[in-house]
Structure 1
Amino acid sequence: MHTVRFGVVGLGGMGLGHCRFLTEVVPEATLTAVCDTHPDRAQSAGEQFGVPYFTDHEAMFRSGLLDAVLIATPHYGHAPVAISAFEHGLHVLVEKPLCVAVSEADQMIAAAQRAGVKFAIGYQHRFRPEVQAARRLIEQGVIGEVRRTLLITAWYRTQAYYDSGDWRATWAGEGGGVLINQAPHFIDLWTWLGGLPSRVFGHTRAALHAIETEDEAFALVEYPNSAHGYLYATTNEEPGENLIEICGDTGKLRLHDGELQVWRLKHSIRQFTYEAEGMWDGIPAERIEPPIPPTPDGALQGQPALIQNFARAILYDEPLIVPGAEGLDAIEVINALILSSKRGAPVSIPVDRAAYDALLTELKAHSTPKTRVREQRATDPNLIR
């Protein structure tokens, strides 16, 4: 095998973007089939890319045309389609988020392990050079034990965006709002760099848009070592920004819209606090230049780099940058924040699976069909970033 044969399930804006990457950008991959439950979408994409098309993913999985599946359905489709693919012995790359509920994540991870196949999730921001550099610095102990974290992931979306699909920002169709759609990329980076919180006390609300889920969420989190963190996510800010701070006992790291800043302290804060004799003594902080190697000419970036890494993992056993099982951490945080908001009390991680499933069942039962839908299928222009 010199290339991996992919089938794409879900042919909205994201799915069509992935089809283009598979046919035009990633040399280790080839698109061999497409699937969507809407017959017109399936036929249109099949004709556009010159491949067989299906309206039933099970039929596509049985066709013998595939080695791997890329799942770009609405969120509730991620778990059942992925588990079916695993049962057919297929490798799976699933778009973010991993799924909607932690119980689904457990089932997906277990199914992948039983099948012994490759499993990855679409968190392409891990491939950014500055993010990779931040991870290396933390692993090397440059900033010491983490004492505080911060995540601000601020986006802007119009009402037309939310009106573009009957599933968007509904409990029955999407399983959440900004937390399950825009925020997962940077919740993933935040937990990848700063660790998984052990407790979340959060609040969500629809502050601006006419939607039944949240367009704003904020939380105070605690870590197993008693460190604290803060999270804010919204689709109500312009210009948007993405900011992650990881503050440790011997240094500080800040990722802000693609720029990495790092400070290293001359002394440990914990040690200096009790050894310093002067009442106004401070710790000298050195701003260090993070070691970010230049991107090689012709190297893929963003989503194409993610697909390439996944394909190479299948072909050559290259380590996955974003293993599917690691997608669980973001779902733990998202579920904990929503559950905390609905309960008005802190929620521990791991999240109580039965409690979140019960809440989601209740929210879906009260979800109402949209009265105003103006369907648009357009790939996010920031897809490759």
Structure 2
Amino acid sequence: MSERKLKHVIVGVGATVLNMHRPALALDTVDLVGAMDIRHDAGRERADSLGCPYFTDYKEMIAETKPDVVVVMTPHTSHAEIAIHGLEAGCHVLVEKPIAVQVKEADAMVAAMRRTGRCLAVNFQQRFRPEIVAAHQLIQSGALGKIQHIDMVLSWLRTAAYFRMGGWRASWAGEGGGVLINQSIHDLDILCHLLGAPAALTGWTRTIQQAIETEDTVQAIFRWANGAMGSLFVSTAVGSRPYRLEIVGSQGMLQIGQGTIQYEAYEQDVREFIDTSPEPFGVLPGVPQEIALGDSTGAHVDVYKNLHAAILDGAPLLVAADTAVAALELANGITLASAQGGEVSLPLDRDAYAALLARYIAGGKS
């Protein structure tokens, strides 16, 4: 990679998200030239800790510093406005997840990326987890055969104290959703990254425990165009359950956990076995396979390194915005399906979801 440093500015320096980015901001390719936040006392303190000037207006900061990269770490509802401004100012942009709160905004961001020719990356660092990289390679190679079923179960227990940390959390106006758009958006992205977007879905969103506006628990069912089916359960209101992603194909299956992956290859394609086995209750053995894992970490550093390589050397941008819209589309789609009480086809009706979100923000959720 080129040794040239890239000038970076940060919009939004909230303590939690900033701490996640600090190791990446220490990369040799980063020259941090400015930080901005609407909370001026805390913003100045964090800018001082980063060793960079503090600004009170992000547009003035971009105009004055002329950065190569604008890093957007604000609440979700402002992502689209700030990212589009950065792109149109000639900057590359890295935006925290989710890309936006609704697909209509994300479409506008992707259009700005294409119009300006700048990089727009989304911080979906979990694509770089070694087990996800290995799973992606296996699926792309065809080793699993025809994908038949997907099951994803995960939870992140959150207490009332968590939701009191910021007034914007778990509100329709401030966050644009609950567990779907905050905690599970990474996992929806992994689902689409590995398998492509479903063709249709149905789902149920509930608030079963938390004193919040938005959903804390979700069950969804997916249909893919190739006939595969899948299910998803996510919650911040149940006791912690192990992360589990199971992908079953006609020639093998994957079981993915947090930092783990198990791969079994069938001795025969299950479709052929069903047609030819003389045994009415036949058993198709699976043979465990060794999987070599790479040295990526699934941390923010991986996203920054990839973005810098794309800018400096023309490397493929592995978390480009146009590949990140699918996860948001699933989150929006599940919310719409729950409200309508039926199946929703993808691509999602942008106007229908925009109208639903506007009603929820106005306090019209039943």
Q: TM-score, normalised by structure 2?
A: 0.95
User: Matches of 2:114 and 2:216 in 1, distance apart?
Assistant: 35
Matches within 5 A, 1:256-271: 256-271=257-272
The residue type paired with residue 2 of structure 1 is R
Q: Percent identity?
A: 36
- Residue by residue over 1:197-246, the C-alpha shift from the partner in whole angstroms, topping out at 9 and shown as x without a partner, is 11111001111110010110111111112211001111123434321111
- Paired residue type of 1:316: D
Aligned residue for 1:17?
19
Asked if 1:366 corresponds to 2:363, the answer is yes
The one of 5, 8, 30 aligned to 2:7: 5
User: Is the contact between residue 184 and residue 330 of structure 1 (CA under 8 Å) also seen in structure 2?
Assistant: yes
Residues 87-102 of structure 1 aligned to structure 2 (within 5 Å): 87-102=88-103
The answer to which of 211-220 and 49-58 deviates more is: 49-58
Give runs of aligned pairs for residues 135-284 of structure 1, distance below 5 A: 135-284=136-285
Q: Work out the number of aligned pairs and report it.
A: 363
**Is contact 1:149–1:194 with CA below 8 Å preserved after alignment?**
no
The alignment's C-alpha RMSD in Å is 1.7
SS at match of 1:236: coil
The answer for the alignment partner of 1:327 in structure 2 is 324
Amino acid at match of 2:225: P
Is residue 126–residue 298 contact of structure 2 (8 Å, CA) maintained in 1? no
Deviations 1:105-158 (A, max 9, x none): 110001001110111111111111111111111111110111111111211111
Structure 2 Cα separation of the partners of residues 151 and 281 of structure 1: 27
Measure how far apart 1:165 and its partner are: 0.8
Sort the Cα spacing of 1:340 and 1:8 in 2 relative to 1 into closer, same or farther, 3 A: same
Closer, same or farther: CA 291–21 of 1 in aligned 2, 3 Å: closer
Distance 2:244 2:121 in 1: 25
Q: Cα distance, 1:194 vs. partner? A: 2.2
Quick one: which amino acid aligns to residue 49 of structure 1? L
| CA–CA distance in structure 1, aligned partners of residues 364 and 24 of structure 2 | 36
Where in structure 1 are there 5+ consecutive unaligned residues?
369-385
Q: Is the 8 A contact 1:122 1:306 kept in 2?
A: yes
Classify 1:8/1:192 alpha carbon distance in 2 versus 1 (closer, same or farther; 3 Å): same
The worse-fitting range, judged by mean Cα deviation, of 272-281 and 352-361 is 272-281
Q: Tell me by how many angstroms 1:58 deviates.
A: 1.1
Q: Which moved more, 1:278-287 or 1:343-352?
A: 278-287
Residue identity matched to 1:109:
V
1:59-98 correspondence to structure 2 within 5 Å:
59-98=60-99
Asked whether the equivalents of residues 102 and 331 of structure 1 are also in contact (C-alpha less than 8 Å), the reply is: yes
User: Aligned partners of 1:367 and 1:39: how far apart in 2?
Assistant: 34
- Matches of 1:255 and 1:18, distance apart in 2: 24
Q: Which residue of 2 aligns with 1:371?
A: none
| SS of residue matched to 2:108 | helix
Q: Is residue 337 of structure 2 the alignment partner of residue 345 of structure 1?
A: no
Aligned to 1:315: 312
Query: What's the secondary structure of 2:238's corresponding residue?
Result: strand
After alignment, is 253-262 or 56-65 more displaced?
56-65
Contact kept? 2:152, 2:231, Cα under 8 Å: yes
SS of aligned partner of 1:51: coil
1:40 maps to what in 2?
Answer: 41
Q: SS at the partner of 1:239?
A: coil
TM-score, normalising length: structure 1: 0.90
Change (3 A) 1:18 1:84: farther
CA contact (8 A) 1:153 1:233 kept: yes
How far residue 272 of structure 1 moved from its aligned partner, in angstroms, is 1.6
Equivalent-residue separation in structure 2 for 1:121 and 1:27 (angstroms): 21
1:283, distance to aligned residue in structure 2 (A) = 1.9
